[in-house]
Structure 1
Amino acid sequence: MAGHSKFKNIMHRKGAQDKKRAGLFSKLSREITVAAKMGMPDPDFNPRLRAAVNAAKAQSVPKDNIQRAIDKAAKGDGENYEEVRYEGYGPGGVALIVEALTDNRNRTATNVRTAFAKNGGNLGASGAVSHGFERLGLIEYGAKAGDADRVFEAALEAGADDVESDVDGHAIWVAVENLHPVARELEKALGEAEGVKLAWKPSLKAEVGEADAATLLKLIDVLDDDDDVQTVWGNYEIPDAVMEKLG
C-alpha cells in the first residue's frame, strides 16, 4: 500500500492493480452497465451512472469503453448482474464488508467464503458487521485539488458533513441523499472528482498489529482480485511503521 493514507486504510486498492488494467476496466464497465440499466442511460439524469462514469474516467478508461457499456445497457444486451453484499471478520477481528456485482450468486458466495477461510478470516451472516458502519456518500479528490483548508471550505460551502485530508488527497463525506447535489457543487469549485460513490464508513477503527497486517492485506487482495467483487471496505487502521515493515 504505497502512499499510505488514513482513508486508504478504509478501502484498500493495491498498487499491483495498475498491472491488471483489463480486470479493473471490466469492473468499472460492469458498474456502468448496471447503473444504466437501473435508470436512464444518460449520466445527466442518472446520478449513479454519472458516478460510475466519473470513476471510470478517473482510472483512464477509454471513452469508447464507457460508451459501449452504456449502449449495452440501453439495448438490454449483456448479462443481468445482481448486487450482493457479504460481511465478515478478517485477521485480528477486523470487520469487512464486500460488495459485488454478479450473474451467479453461488459462484461469488463460494469464492468469497473461500477467500475468508484461507486467509485468516470468517465470513458471517448478513448484518454481522454493517451495524458498526454508517452508510454515507463519499466524494474523493486527489491532492492536486488544493490544500486541506481550500477543500474544507469548498466542502462546507457545498453542504458536506466531514472532510478527511492527507498527503494523498481528500475524502469528503456526505449524507446519502446529498451525494450528487454536493458533488455537483464541488465540481464547480474544485473540478471533477476522482470518485463519487456510496460508501461504508466505520464508526470505530481497529488498529492492526504487525502479526495480523500482512494476512489481512492478503485477504483483501484476494477478494479484490475476484472479478465479481467491486469494493472491499473495512474498519482497520494500519500504523505507518507497520506498513513500512511490510514494504
Structure 2
Amino acid sequence: MAGHSKWANIQHRKGRQDAVRSKLFSKLSKEISIAAKLGGPDVDANPRLRLAVANAKGQSMPKDNIQRAIDKAAGGDDSQYEDIRYEGFGPAGIGVIVEVSTDNRNRAASEVRTAFSKNGGNLGETGSVAFMFDNVGEIRFPLSVADEDAMMEAAIEGGADDVTSEEGDEENEGQHVVYTAREDLMDVVAALSSQYGDPTGAKLIWKPQNLIDVPGDKAGTVMKLMEVLDDLDDVQNVYANFDISDEDMANLG
C-alpha cells in the first residue's frame, strides 16, 4: 500500500521512530492479551494468538514482553474487549478502514468520529468503504533473505496468491510482501518461516483494490488524519487507499 509505506518513512525522518516503536509494541501486546483471553494461552491451539505472536516476533518484540502479554490474560484481567471496524472517507475522497479493539464502544466511536471530522474526513456506514478493499493475509520478509524469483517460487509453492517487493532507502531495508487468501495465512507463514525464519510481519489486512492519487494541497491533511487515527489507544490498525507522490512526501518531510 503505497501511502502507508511512505507514511512509515516520513515518520522515521521526523524522528518519531522511538515513539512509533513504543506505540507498535503497545498495540502488539494488546492484541496478544486479547487473543490469549478469548482463545486461551496455548499458542498451538489458538490461531489468533499464534498469528499475534508471529507478528510480534517479526517486529523484534522481546520474548519477555510477549510472555507478559500472555500472562496478563491468564492472570485474570477482567477487561472485556470487542473488535469493531469503522469505515470513512478522508481528504480527496480516499477510503479509510479503522480496526478497533476496545472495552468502551462509545468512547471508541466518539474518538474515531472526532478524528475524521477534525481532519478533513467523515465517518461512513459499515460497508461504505470495505468494498474497495480485499481482506487478505500479508506476510513480510526483508529483501536480503532471498532474491525475488526464489521468494516468488517459495511463496506460490507454499500456497500464496502473489508476491511484490518494496524498495528500501538509506534508513529502511526493502521487503518482500507476500499476499494470501485470509484462510491460508498461517499455512503460508509456516511454509516460508521454515526457509527464511520469522517474517517481519504477518497479519490480515485490508488491501486496496486501487489507489487514489492525492494532490499536494491535500497531502498534509491526509497524513495528519492517518497519524491521529493511529495514535488513538483503541485503534489497532488503519488502512487507506491513497497514494502521494514522492515529491509531495518529501515536501512534508
TM-score, with length taken from structure 1: 0.91
Once the 2 structures are TM-superposed, how far is the Cα of residue 124 of structure 1 from its aligned partner? 0.6
- The answer to whether the 8 A contact 2:3-2:241 is kept is no
Which residue does 2:206 correspond to in 1?
200
Which residue does 2:4 correspond to in 1?
8
For 2:3 and 2:212, the matched residues in 1 are separated by: 13
Once the 2 structures are TM-superposed, how far is the Cα of residue 21 of structure 1 from its aligned partner? 4.1
Once the 2 structures are TM-superposed, how far is the Cα of residue 189 of structure 1 from its aligned partner? 1.9
For 2:251 and 2:90, the matched residues in 1 are separated by: 20
Of 231, 235, 245 in structure 2, the residue corresponding to residue 239 of structure 1 is 245
Instruction: Go from structure 1 to structure 2 and tell me whether the alpha carbon gap of 1:42 and 1:133 turns closer, same or farther (over 3 Å shift).
Output: same
TM-score, with length taken from structure 2: 0.89
Give the alignment of 1:86-125 within 5 angstroms: 86-125=86-125
Q: Output one character per residue of 1:98-130: Cα deviation in whole Å (capped at 9) or x when no partner.
A: 001111111111111111111111111111100
Unpaired segments of 5 or more residues in structure 2? Answer: 168-173
Once the 2 structures are TM-superposed, how far is the Cα of residue 171 of structure 1 from its aligned partner? 1.4
Give the alignment of 1:109-188 within 5 angstroms: 109-167=109-167, 168-188=174-194
**Matched pairs, number:** 243
- The answer to whether the 8 A contact 2:6-2:249 is kept is no
Range 17-26 or range 170-179, more displaced = 17-26
Which residue does 1:54 correspond to in 2?
54
- The answer to whether the 8 A contact 1:12-1:232 is kept is no
- The answer to whether the 8 A contact 1:72-1:78 is kept is no
For 1:125 and 1:113, the matched residues in 2 are separated by: 12
Q: Which runs of 4+ in 1 moved over 4 A?
A: 9-13
Q: Give the letter aligned to residue 46 of structure 2.
A: N
Instruction: Go from structure 1 to structure 2 and tell me whether the alpha carbon gap of 1:200 and 1:88 turns closer, same or farther (over 3 Å shift).
Output: same
For 1:11 and 1:176, the matched residues in 2 are separated by: 25
Over the residues paired in the alignment, what is the CA RMSD in angstroms?
2.0
For 1:10 and 1:83, the matched residues in 2 are separated by: 27
- The answer to whether the 8 A contact 1:12-1:233 is kept is no
Q: Output one character per residue of 1:148-202: Cα deviation in whole Å (capped at 9) or x when no partner.
A: 2221121111110011202221211111111101110011122111111111111
Percent identity over the alignment is 51
